[in-house]
Amino acid sequence: MPKSKKSSTPLNLNEPQYYINRELSWLEFNNRVLHEACDSRTPLLERLKFLAIFSSNLDEFFMVRVAALKQQVEAKVSQLTPDGRTPQQQLDDIRLNLIPQFTKQHQHFEQVVRPLLASHGIHILDYINLTQKQRTYLDNYFEEQIFPVLTPLAVDPSHPFPYISNLSLNLAVVVKNPDTDEELFARVKVPNVLPRFLPLPPDLATQENGQQSYWTGVPLEQAIAHNLDSLFPGMNIQEYHPFRITRDADLALEEDEADDLLLAIEQELRKRRIGGSPVRIEIQSQTPEPIRNRLLEDLELTESDVYEVDGLLGLRDLMSFMALPLPELKDPPRQSVVPTRLQRLREPSLDADTDVMEVEEGRDFFSIIREKDLFVHHPYQSFSATVVRFITHAAHDPNVLAIKMTLYRTSGDSPIVNALIAAAENGKQVSVLVELKARFDEENNIYWARRLERVGVHVVYGLVGLKTHSKTVMVVRREKDRMRRYVHIGTGNYNPKTARLYTDLGLFSCREELGADITDLFNFLTGYSRQKSYRELLVAPVNMRDRFLELIRREIANAQNGFSGRIVAKMNSLVDPQIIATLYEASRAGVQIDLIIRGICCLRPGLPDISENIRIISIVGRFLEHSRIYYFHNNGQEEIYIGSADWMRRNLDRRVEVITPIQDPDIAKDLQEILGIMLADNRQAWDLQADGSYIQRRPGEDCPEANSQITFINMALRSTSIATNLVDSPKGSLLTES
């Protein structure tokens, strides 16, 4: 029952005290990632993984968000955020909140994780602790494998301070000329073409209690540092100090002025490789003041840009240890399964002469979709056996005439792109929108765009001023005397690799209304259509914002008229002020609202007379929660939607996004079950507090642990027979993923 009805006191729901700062909310999300690395319940190598993810996330945060704030300060931007902060105030608060997290990460690695690794036979040693035999081996390795790659750079009046590339690890070196006693400064870049951690051979591995270790090695920068005399012969090495630089890496692209978008982005990518202005320097805490000051002066940084480390810099490189074949130190292996309805399909054979797949009539992928809509839940259900299979079958089916698709991000060896190429070579009409502006995937997308163009695919690069973020495929197939359109609408990228790590949803359908809407969408993307309405789809920036506001306000009206009002939504981020203010109105009217928001959330739940009917959780675990689900009670006539958009300004106003209603009652029931399981999570769920902090749920003494992601793994396994899958697939690999 509602805790309150709408107060008669008028309130300005746009006041800053009702909003959490976006950047600080993101830091809270990354802090939850760090918690997984510090949680003793997390398997040891998975803890290393989360430490690496925390670092990698921070790198991108500085390259994009902090860099943008610095530019605003430099440009003297005075506009306040919805929570009432200036750009400089945000930078100050970011540092204030981040320093404890940053310190905690490095202390936990050095004091807890590193000793635990050693107890399991994984020894990340410091050079000074090596035995003489180990040093001799490493010194020889340096001369043969490392030394030829290095380029020491002197810094003096005739050698200006060298350019320090983005995310590079370096050594600041002080040497003394023995003839003049003059101290000289130099920089040595730690090459990223070599492994960050150098393994020692098994016969030199560290032994403890008579047991030989599984892996023993040292950081690359230490192997270099202890062989600097080879780089500076005749000089006396005085000291060395590692440091790491982060630069502005966002593309500054003026689309309106770019005659050729692909060429313009390529030029910007060349600039990114060099990097923009420095925004952060990481140094070891014992770095002497003169070296520290020199680096800050030459890099034009200030003390507020310095992040001190006790121990190793650049912990994102710890991800490499996940390659160790030690399953007992990782999450239990997981097997993606095939949806039950697809299990009765046998794999089609490919005719070597005609390159056409031969399929038993009435038992192809399309026949399954014709029966009723098909719902898929990744990674619990196989991406390869569903999405990849659908596109591959379409590419070789002689009755398929056209394939249209949006590609935001895909993998470097994408079977989907290879299927599209095969479709074009088979004479089908293939049109693909490749989003060149997908941040940090631009180069990969340019590569695929060119490959597709070379085989005759119609490649479109999107709309000026908008990123195309929708996840849609349409297949046009001739069936007897009619054309039928088959569509897939998803919440995640068409990327087989990330599909194993991200939770996402997808809908396959051949309903006429959806097919017509997707046709109109592609005309909007590839032509000059100014489509303003759609039959079923919510499309940004056309009708999505207005439709979501209508759906929320309908719940408000129901609550005000004495009926129950209920909203449940799952997304990555909630930032849009208009949506937030409308949710506040709904709460004040008595609408019960549960939100599952993985990352940024700017809404304050639990405020008396404002948001006391709103509850918000975040789930951080083995898989990255990426799916978007929107449920509205509608006085018993429930409506539920899935798609690509979060409730953020960029998604609603500056991107092409697609949200689809779910018409099939069985799929709607499945989605409600997914939401219910996640809301009941007491292992990986965190409750957002009104002050912006999060408290992790923990099961009570008599309450069993409810881990939603493990529940979904078990549900998927129970719904299918792995043995049947292997029988149906001679190769096996298409139907199961590990």
CB distance 506 to 378 below 8 Å? yes
CB distance 534 to 546 below 8 Å? no
Give the DSSP H/E element, type plus range, for residue 95: helix 87-108
- Which residues are bridge partners to 615 per DSSP? 594
Question: Hey, how many other C-beta atoms are within 10 angstroms of the C-beta on 189?
Answer: 18
Closest C-alpha among 719, 738, 712, 658 to residue 503: 712
Q: Is 469 a catalytic residue?
A: yes
Residue with tokens 């396959």: 508
SS3 84: coil
Catalytic residue among 241, 469, 488, 633: 469
Cα dihedral 713, 714, 720, 723 sign: positive
Burial class for 362, CB neighbours closer than 10 Å (0-12, 13-18, 19+): exposed
Tell me the C-alpha to C-alpha distance, in Å, between residue 596 and each of 4, 490, 618. Answer: 22, 18, 6
Give the type of residue at 459: V
444-483 burial by CB neighbour count: b if 16+ within 10 A, else e?
Answer: bbbebbebbeeeebebbbbbeebbbbbbbbbbbbeeeeee
Tell me the C-alpha to C-alpha distance, in Å, between residue 658 and each of 79, 470, 480, 643. Answer: 31, 5, 31, 6
Interacting residues of 115 by C-beta distance below 8 A, sequence separation 6+: none
Closest C-alpha among 518, 132, 559, 109 to residue 309: 109
**Which residues carry out catalysis?**
469
